[in-house]
Structure 1
Amino acid sequence: MLDIYLPILVLIGIAVAFAIGSVVFSGLIGMKKPSAVKLSPYECGLSPVGSARERVSVKFYLVAVAFIVFDIEVVFLYPWAVVFKQLGWYGAAVMGVFLFVLIIGFIYDWKKGALEWE
């Protein structure tokens, strides 16, 4: 039974060794001359203003989650488009139902105001 799991254990060992080796190697050869410019966070070339611990509006997270949900659902259109001719009318009907549910969810989010920045 060990011969079945041996490749998986070897892969896990290689992954752990690579992760630890990368951290150790970068610590050994990395530059060790910190300065105020190098230690400051990079913000599009501008000096950071304010604290990094400011509260962020929940609206940001709602829009982000809605974007991810709708983006992932639209990804399902690509495999359907590839095999559209083989699926025939059944595939078109199922995709129509899928798009209908997607549009209803989008309209619901829109009416609830989840996409508005106030």
Structure 2
Amino acid sequence: MLENYLPIIVFIVLGLGFGAGPMLIGYLLSPSKPNKEKSSQFECGFPPFEDSRMYFNVRYYLVAILFILFDLEVAFVFPWAVVQSDLGWFGFIAMSIFLFLLVVGFIYEWKNGALEWE
């Protein structure tokens, strides 16, 4: 029974090795020369003026929900359309429930004003 899991364990060990190995080699072999200039802000050129845990508008989350609703929906609709004739009524009812839930999410987004651009 345990020999069935050996390939999975080998893949996990190899994946961890390929992922963590180069980082570990770079950490161990790289020179460490700390400097004040290296630790300074380099993205925008000036020190931050607010806390990083500031309030974000709920619109960011609504846009994320919109992405999930309308982008990932296609990932389920196309394969269903390919095998629709093989699924019969069960597949039709299951996809109808799925699309109904998507419409409910769309109405939620519409009511919260996520579709209105400023």
Which structure ranks higher in relative contact order (CA pairs < 8 Å, sequence separation ≥ 6)?
1
Tell me the SS of whatever aligns to 1:56.
Answer: coil
Gaps of 5+ in 1: none
Structure 1, residues 4-51: CA drift from partner, whole Å, max 9, x if none? 121122122212222221212333358968784896454xxx646744
Who is 1:56 aligned against? 56
Task: State the TM-score, normalizing by the size of structure 1.
Answer: 0.61
CA-based RMSD of the aligned residues comes to 3.8
Which amino acid is 1:81 matched to? A
Structure 1, residues 75-94: CA drift from partner, whole Å, max 9, x if none? 2122123335x359858954
Who is 1:76 aligned against? 76
Who is 1:8 aligned against? 8
What's the CA shift for 1:106? 0.7
Question: Aligned partners of 1:99 and 1:33: how far apart in 2?
Answer: 56
Structure 1, residues 52-103: CA drift from partner, whole Å, max 9, x if none? 613211221232123223322232122123335x359858954455434423
Question: Aligned partners of 1:30 and 1:57: how far apart in 2?
Answer: 42
Question: Aligned partners of 1:109 and 1:91: how far apart in 2?
Answer: 29
Count the aligned residue pairs: 113
Stretch deviating more after TM superposition (87-96 or 21-30): 87-96
Which amino acid is 1:2 matched to? L
What's the CA shift for 1:110? 0.4
Who is 1:105 aligned against? 105
Task: State the TM-score, normalizing by the size of structure 2.
Answer: 0.61
Instruction: Return structure 1 stretches of 4+ with deviation > 3 angstroms.
Output: 29-42, 46-52, 86-101
Gaps of 5+ in 2: none
Structure 1 residues 105 and 37 mapped into 2: Cα distance closer, same or farther (>3 Å)?
Answer: same
